[in-house]
Amino acid sequence: MSKPITAIIVGAGHRAETYASFSKHCPDKLKIVGVADPNELRRKMIAQKYNLAENQCFESAEELASKGKLADAIINGTMDTQHVPTSLVLLKAGYDILLEKPFAISEEQVWQLADTVKKYNRKVMICHVLRYAPFYVEIKKHILNGELGEIISIQTAEHVSYHHMACCFVRGKWNRQDICGSSILMSKCCHDLDIIMWINSGINPTKVSSFGGLHYFRKEHAPKDSGEYCLIDCPIEKDCLYSARKHYLDHPDRWSFYVWTGIEHIENPTLKDKEEYLKRKDHLYGRCVWKCDNTVADRQAVMIEFENGSIATHNLIGGASRPMRKIHIVGTEGEIQGIMDDSVYTIRHIDTRPGHEYKEIVHDLKIRGDMTGAFGGHGGGDLRLVEDFVNVLQGHKPSISCTSLEDSINGHLVGLLADRAMTENKIMYFDGSNQLS
């Protein structure tokens, strides 16, 4: 049996903690042996959780890198602007990296990271966890088996729920690209763009266009007489669908890892503690959603053409009643259509028999039992991703979902290009070397 891979958490946020939790499920495969984070409270929380000594805790990736190689790998869960800067110093120090998405916030960073990985011969896997969700794995298997023939069209959509949209992209820390570094397309939908590239694996995109923008969550759409802060000065709060009380006090655990970070120092905070915290004017999540400083889009459509003539579209809808990811793939010999959140997809083929038009088979993964081992978020993909990363570092064959940096580049470039296309109102092109133009 292989020794467990040792890993150090860099950026002790929600995502890194989720990936690191694989070590609790499978201690024989992964062991957490350090943490680097500028927040002393978070360092102490991780140290307590994983029984770390003081000399296993660091204030920054740079400090950690200066100590030489202390583990096999890094779980990099820093914020988007820090993904590449922190990874560069850690790659040079000898680490392989499991890197949260989006792995870069510009085309220049994409190639800077790729060049450094190549120079130091390191392994970097990107956290495109949807590839590991049983729903998408099964769809990929059908495609690899040739059941659809040549792919003609790929349509994907993500409906971001009203509470997710409000928490993260209107009130929260991904609401301004100039601060967080990423557009909503890159921070939320680079998963979906990666799925499109994975379905069309080995076929390069050639053109990208995009339309959308910020339309709804703006001051001119604020209800009449609404205040600036839900629990301070808003007379219509009780009737508002976006009331901070309804989103965060009535559901105190829904977005706890973002909303209550400012009171982490309070052990077992009460609902009263949380209400008083929401009433502070410096609390991001207590603000009226129509009167925030948000600048990212609340809707966006992306269209992609590939070198073989196939096309793909992705629609982002922010503020939907129900969160949902949908996919519809049409090939020359069949099609697949499904909803990830239901773990159900349908395969259809042409049927020319008299009285028929097509035949279809519905695949319900829950009934079939194919969700076995799918613990963790993102349709069961989170911890399966970590398991694959560990297996690769131990020298085992990667799964069909493997998210190597090389395989993740096109999806990121398409997203970056789409944002430019939307902003500049023009079609963007890839040249023959896959660089952007």
Band (pLDDT 50/70/90 cuts) for residue 325 is very high
Instruction: Pull the structure tokens for residue 162.
Output: 């009203």
Are the C-beta atoms of residues 35 and 52 closer than 8 Å to each other? yes
Sequence-distant (≥ 6) Cβ neighbours of residue 69 within 8 angstroms: 93, 94, 95
Q: What is the structure's pLDDT at 207?
A: 97
Q: What is the structure's pLDDT at 369?
A: 54
Please report which helix (H) or strand (E) contains residue 269, including its range: none
Secondary structure letter of residue 365 according to DSSP? H
Q: What is the structure's pLDDT at 366?
A: 84
Amino acid identity for residue 432 in this structure = G
**Average per-residue pLDDT in the chain?**
93
Band (pLDDT 50/70/90 cuts) for residue 125 is very high
- How far is residue 316's CA from residue 212's CA, in Å, rounded to a whole number? 9
Best CA proximity match to 135, nearest among 413, 301, 348, 384: 384
| pLDDT tens digits for range 269-322 | 999 999 999 999 999 999 999 999 999 999 999 999 999 999 999 999 999 999
Q: Is residue 433 scored above 90 in pLDDT? A: no
Between the CA atoms of 126, 130, 132 and 135, what dihedral angle is there, to the nearest 10 degrees?
Answer: -170
Between the CA atoms of 349, 333, 189 and 413, what dihedral angle is there, to the nearest 10 degrees?
Answer: 180
More confident residue, 437 or 342: 342
φ, ψ of residue 435 in degrees (nearest 5): -80, 160
Best CA proximity match to 30, nearest among 69, 74, 60, 64: 74
Instruction: Pull the structure tokens for residue 108.
Output: 């220049």
Q: What is the structure's pLDDT at 291?
A: 98
Q: What is the structure's pLDDT at 264?
A: 84
| pLDDT tens digits for range 16-62 | 999 999 999 999 999 999 999 999 999 999 999 999 999 999 999 99
- pLDDT mean over 329-351: 96
Q: Helix-strand-coil percent breakdown of the chain, rounded to 5?
A: 40, 20, 40
Q: What is the structure's pLDDT at 378?
A: 54
| pLDDT tens digits for range 367-425 | 755 444 444 455 667 899 999 999 999 999 999 999 989 889 999 999 999 999 999 99
Q: Is residue 175 scored above 60 in pLDDT? A: yes
- pLDDT mean over 361-367: 91
- How far is residue 179's CA from residue 193's CA, in Å, rounded to a whole number? 23
Are the C-beta atoms of residues 291 and 164 closer than 8 Å to each other? no
φ, ψ of residue 372 in degrees (nearest 5): -55, 130
Domains, the chain: 5-100 (3.40.50.720), 130-217+294-379+405-429 (3.30.360.10), 219-286 (no CATH)
Instruction: Pull the structure tokens for residue 403.
Output: 């998210």
The owner of tokens 């085309």 is 107
Q: Is residue 89 scored above 60 in pLDDT? A: yes
Q: What is the structure's pLDDT at 371?
A: 42
Q: What is the structure's pLDDT at 367?
A: 77
Tell me the percentage of the chain whose pLDDT exceeds 90.
Answer: 90
Q: Give the sheet arrangement for strand 335-339, strand by strand.
A: 358-364, 344-350, 335-339, 324-331, 151-161, 311-320, 299-306, 205-213, 428-429
Are the C-beta atoms of residues 319 and 160 closer than 8 Å to each other? yes
